[in-house]
Amino acid sequence: MREITYAEAFAEALREILRADKRVCVIGGYFFGLSPRRALISQLRKQFPARFFDPPIAEAGYCGLAVGAAMAGLRPIVDIGTGSFFFQAFPQVLNEAANTYYMTGGQTKVPAVFHMLHGIRGGGAAQHSHSPQAMLWNTPGLEIMLPASPRDVKGLLKTAVLSDNPTVFVDHAKLFEVRGEVPDGDYAIPFGQAEVKRSGKDVTVVATSLMVVRALEAAEELAKKGIEVEVVDPRTLVPLDKKTILASVAKTGRLVVVDECHRSCGVASELVAIVAEEGFDALKAPVKRVTTLDVPVPFSRPMEAYIEPSREKIITAVLEVVK
């Protein structure tokens, strides 16, 4: 099986989607920001010039445009940019797109995909480093995907575009150069299917997005100490595959959850709550969360490193639950 980067798999999926379905259009389309990988999108713009639209810097406006276009029969993919900009689009995405199907009794659908780059990217500071996926998870009506590998980003994006529900694509700039195996040909990965990225018997680490990569790095180091870590990637928050997570906790008896949202009311908090309610009898030790601290993200790189989840912090948390 061939090995390509996350960015290449993303661009390949987008090319195949645009070729296969004329209803798909792209609003924004700077998915890779200012990174060198933006050249991949430039190629698509040349190949499908009539399908890319460049809006003004007005997130509420162009997300509202996408919602209306989806209601009218198109399937827009909207690039909002950094996750911090998503706040400007909350009225259209959370209050319109998420509620339309319910409020119309199923008569009107909003098959749109909203893409954002979340998390601490390096010097983004307080207004370019948010991870708002926990807030979005608190909004019924949205599907949420968080791919962490080349294979997953291609397969999940294919599913997102085919879905009749509004989907938020939670992405991370530090994943662009991650390499991995990707099948040849067309394929899709269903939402609501977590994946065990590494098997182990001593402790379960549930991680999302970039934290999956860091959890796997930590597991590699811990294996040298004789500790076998099982890494579970939910891949989607909505729908959530609770069965796989609970089965892993039942197997290991210990849980560490790693996520880049802030600690309070974050994704990690909800995952821990689910295990406490539905899998408490399997736990042999208190659970641990490894998250971003509850402070605005600083511009300073050393301070940034102090507040963010890291491989070292994951290792420390695992050692605490297995001692």
Q: How far apart are CA 321 and CA 315, in angstroms?
A: 10
Are the beta carbons of 23 and 74 closer than 8 angstroms?
Answer: yes
Select 3-181's CATH number: 3.40.190.80, 3.40.50.720, 3.90.1560.10, 3.40.50.970: 3.40.50.970
Residues of the chain with CATH 3.40.50.970: 3-181
β-sheet bridge partners, residue 232: 196, 206
Task: Return the residue matching tokens 């999108």.
Answer: 41
What does residue 266 show for φ and ψ, rounded to 5 degrees?
-90, -175
pLDDT given for residue 127 in this prediction: 93
pLDDT given for residue 322 in this prediction: 96
Active site residue 172: no
β-sheet bridge partners, residue 28: none
Residues of the chain with CATH 3.40.50.920: 195-322
Catalytically annotated residue among 128, 221, 228, 278: 128
Residue 50, judged by CB atoms within 10 A of its CB (0-12, 13-18, 19+), counts as: exposed
Low-confidence residues of the chain: pLDDT under 50:
none
Q: How far apart are CA 285 and CA 19, in angstroms?
A: 51
pLDDT given for residue 29 in this prediction: 83
DSSP state of 138: T
What confidence tens digit (pLDDT) does each residue in 84-125 have? 999 999 999 999 999 999 999 999 999 999 999 999 989 999
Sequence-distant (6+) residues with CB within 8 A of 114 are 63, 66, 78, 80, 86, 89, 93, 97, 166, 167, 168, 169
Q: How far apart are CA 76 and CA 113, in angstroms?
A: 6
Sequence-distant (6+) residues with CB within 8 A of 321 are 203, 254, 255, 256, 285, 286, 287, 288
pLDDT given for residue 229 in this prediction: 98
pLDDT given for residue 30 in this prediction: 87
Q: Helix, strand, coil: what percent of the chain each, to 5?
A: 45, 20, 35
How high does pLDDT run on average in the chain? 97
Catalytically annotated residue among 3, 8, 16, 59: 59
3 state SS of 38: helix
Other residues' Cβ atoms within 10 Å of the Cβ of residue 181: 12
Active site residue 143: no
Mark residue 302 as left, alpha or beta (left: phi above 0; alpha: psi -120 to 50; beta: remaining): alpha
- For domain 195-322, the question of CATH label 3.40.50.10320 is answered with no
pLDDT given for residue 311 in this prediction: 98
pLDDT given for residue 213 in this prediction: 98
pLDDT given for residue 33 in this prediction: 85
